[in-house]
Structure 1
Amino acid sequence: MTLPSAPNGGPLGGSLSIHSDVLNAPIPPTKEGKDGLVSELKSRARLTMASGNYPLAEAFYGKAVEVLSGCEGVKHDLAVLYANRSLARLNQNKKDDAIEDATLSVSHDSLYVKGHWRLGSAYSGAGRYAEAYDAFKCGLEVDPSNKPFEREIDKCRAKMTESKIKKKKSPKAEKTKPTASPSPTSSKSVSQKSRDVSTSAAVDAEDKSLFKKSEPIRGYKIVNGKKTSFFHHEQTEEEKALIGDITPKMLDIATTSTAQDVESEERAPAVSAWNTAGTWEEKGVTAWAKETLRKAILDVSYTFGTEPIKITISAIDKMDGHASFATVRMKRRYIYEFELELSWELKNMDEVLASGKIIYPDVDGTCDGTYESSYSVIKGDAKFCKAYVSERGLKSAVDRALDGWIELFKSTYAM
């Protein structure tokens, strides 16, 4: 697997060293082994995405794709992995690669809404608004109630209109432009470069020839028919017996965990079967997270000025996701990812004036206090409800509750 470079162009170096247990792991022969390795890779990828280490997240998702490639019944899983790697690549400004991954995501599962979202975002990031428009339109066909798609479609339409106006206003290119004749200096430069290239090739050929002749002098020797360094030492049978077998071995996942309930699993430190060096420890706290997040959201309400009208979250219809924290080289990292579907009610005293839904498709560490959401009105006048539900109303109150819950998460499980 080709590993990406760090943002400054250099290798990932130290970041990879503590994750070599999974990034360099051989592909397990069994389905259970593959599932376990992919689960570990996805867990670490989520954490690195949250911390902004996009090159490392790209490496994790790439390894997961490698593990699942060729397996049966994993099209949706691959669609999710490609979509996530597309995001990691787009955050590194690798626009073409991001488009390629998002396209693969959609091709593996055309009903995966986030695949269409990633494709539209990648095209939009590359300034290809017509293609972004088509991608977002396809996503809206899969999920017609998705308001964020509608907003992105409007943005793309505006960008395309703006581009057309600019083209109309721009002056026509001059029909004839004097072509600059090559100057003596440039001609000389080209010939000089040619001479440099030929000279360099000659020097390389000479170096290769000298190297072959002088190998015995430069410290090489032949061991078991193979060329190796003069300082290479082959262990004797006596030394091997004394040291023992030091070949790295993968732990059997089946022996590292027991089939207990979620609570008992979460109380025990979750050391991965792939983390034999103990450099990465993760503990699941999903049950605690869902309980505290549910309480925080159900406490949300918003009142407009001094009016007796109040809007509240009446129910949590969907809360899918997970939460955990990891300790990496004595530093605590927090991992969470939730999808929320909430019901709201607008009341005047005890009379329900309106009701509807508000959806948060992604609440995770990459949001940084800005949460994408959409709302719908099931009962009541949509225009009347807008002031209560939109950015300055209920959504703002829910966003603050999410911020507060994240701070609670970090303080509860601080080192």
Structure 2
Amino acid sequence: MPAASEVRISVRPRVTCPHCWETFSADQTHWVAAHPDLVNDPRLTSDHQLRFLPTRFNVEGNALDPRGMACQELACPRCHLTIPRSLLELPPLFVSIAGTPSCGKSYFLAAMTWSLRQTLPRDFQVSYTDADPQSNLILAEYEEQQFLNPRQDEVVKLRKTEEQGDAYDQVRYGSQVVSYPRPFLFSIRPTQQHPSVVNARRASRLLCLYDNAGESFLPGRDTVVNPVTRHLAQSHAVIFCFDPTQDPRFRNACAGQSTDFQVQEAPVTARQETVLHEIINRIRNHTGLKQTERRQQPLIVAVTKCDAWWSLMNVANVPPPWKPIPGSPMRSALDLSTIKKLSLLVRQLLSKFTPELVAAAEEFSEQTWFIPVSATGCSPERAIVNRKTVWGVKPRNIRPMWCEVPLLTILATQAGGLVPSMKMGPAMGGQQAEASR
């Protein structure tokens, strides 16, 4: 083949499966057979195509299955679940989102991804695209219900994240069937205007987001056949959603200051510090982290539904989390000093009402942030649907607040050069310096 026709792709020497978290070399990657007769993969159900280790390829570099048809999809050699091709080229960024039932995780996740789709390309010259649209179908549905809904005045309620169903995959290992959570996968790359575009491969990331049902984080729910939260051990960062409206102490403090249904009537589902302790224990057990050792990866406590409890803060409004960079193609830089200042104020409030939660978080991670977020920016409303009372929000009223900030903070601190940030002063909130790249 003439040299001008060659296409060379650099792959990473070791790859971690985003489903079963097995690490393997790139040359062990399996392919998914394309011929319709090659079905009944032994690890998956009968309607799945066969997975195989190829020995023949066409000139485009695609594997040929045993019947000679060119293949397009890749699969993990252990669990046989499909993986995106970008996993072989881009470093992964594993982020786990955890919390109790009804803490607002699904609403927060949808608002976060929707906000990032707008913010990253507009303000930071970074593209944020679906790496696997099939895996992201549930999240895309959430976004459409809230932000692309033509029925702007009809109350919307997102369906609860379940412990089984479409968000999980079943894999057979002999006679044992194991359930794995299906991650949401996004490619994050510098655009042509980004200073790091000349080194795009090193700066880019494959973001793997995990969202389990809140019940999965309760004690005793993580087992060998149901390892649905083992991603916590692989995570480069954990976002723990803490809902003050589920804490009686916060509710009492908000009495007379908030008419929000979530403060006055919504049921309390679980003690949240117990769930945080369970998450910490699972990470220590699966990573070998000592009981007296603190984790270096960040733990971000996303304090949800801040529109309902903001009256307890001595801050009039939530400040903008980034600032413009005059004369720079980046346009903006994340203002870590402002984020840290607000984090310290939220920490003070949490220390007053839930000191046990603050202590557990800070004893676990060397990088602990307390970031206020609101997925809707408004209180839920009552509606009658199929003769049943439903609490939800009207799309017209949705105004997310700071939902993109937790992940922007992770990108600024864990993915060097991708999202620029204003340097923090020595006292965590001093005078800002120039944007770091």
TM-score tier (shorter): under 0.3
Compare CA radii of gyration and give the structure with the larger one: 1
Specify which structure has the bigger relative contact order, considering alpha-carbon pairs within 8 angstroms and separated by 6 or more residues. Answer: 2
Which structure carries more helix by proportion?
A: 1
Q: What is the TM-score when the length of structure 2 is the normalising length?
A: 0.21
TM-score by length of 1: 0.22
